[in-house]
Amino acid sequence: MKRFLTYAGISVVLVFIVYVLFVYFFTFSEGYRAGELIKISKRGVVFKTWEGRLSQGVSEEQQFNFSVEKSDKEVLEQLKTLQGERVKVTYIERYGTFAWLGDTKYYVKEVEKLESRKNPE
């Protein structure tokens, strides 16, 4: 019985480690989004994470919520200075997330400023 419990415990730990590695290192998709950067903020009670929102239109459905990892300092600084501007972001989508990484499955890896739309005269 002791041997069974030992093997069961080791199996549970190995499954958890494989799950964590899978969720963190394997991406579901990657792509680009463009719109007005309306929010970038550090939030959370126990784990402070950087969260942002990109408006792609008028309605609430056309907003893209994303997270930024703390290690992407250059991206964070760019987002802080570009708030309110039109931007294009490059992101990856993971299979899941962890509380210490962010609230969403979408993680911004690059950001660039776009030219403002010109009003027709």
Provide the residue-wise pLDDT of the chain in tens; the chain has 121 residues: 888 899 999 999 999 999 988 888 888 999 999 999 999 999 988 999 999 999 887 777 789 999 999 888 999 999 999 988 999 999 999 988 888 888 899 999 999 999 876 655 5
What is residue 118's predicted lDDT score, i.e. its pLDDT?
Answer: 60
Which uninterrupted H or E stretch holds 73? helix 73-81
Residue 89 resides in a domain: yes
Query: How many domains does one find in the chain?
Result: 1
What is residue 74's predicted lDDT score, i.e. its pLDDT?
Answer: 93
Domain of residue 51, residue span? 27-113
Residue 4 resides in a domain: no
Residue 66 resides in a domain: yes
Amino acid letter for position 16:
F
What is residue 84's predicted lDDT score, i.e. its pLDDT?
Answer: 87
What is residue 115's predicted lDDT score, i.e. its pLDDT?
Answer: 84
What gap in Å lies between CA 38 and CA 52, rounded to an integer? 8
The CATH number covering residue 59 comes to 2.40.50.140
What is residue 117's predicted lDDT score, i.e. its pLDDT?
Answer: 67
Q: Taking CA 95 as the corner, what is the angle to CA 108 and CA 30, rounded to the nearest 5 degrees?
A: 40
- pTM of whole model > 0.85? no
Residue 14 resides in a domain: no
Residue 12 resides in a domain: no
Q: 69-102 b/e with 16+ CB inside 10 Å = b?
A: beebeebbebbeebeeebbebebeebeebeeebb
What gap in Å lies between CA 78 and CA 102, rounded to an integer? 18
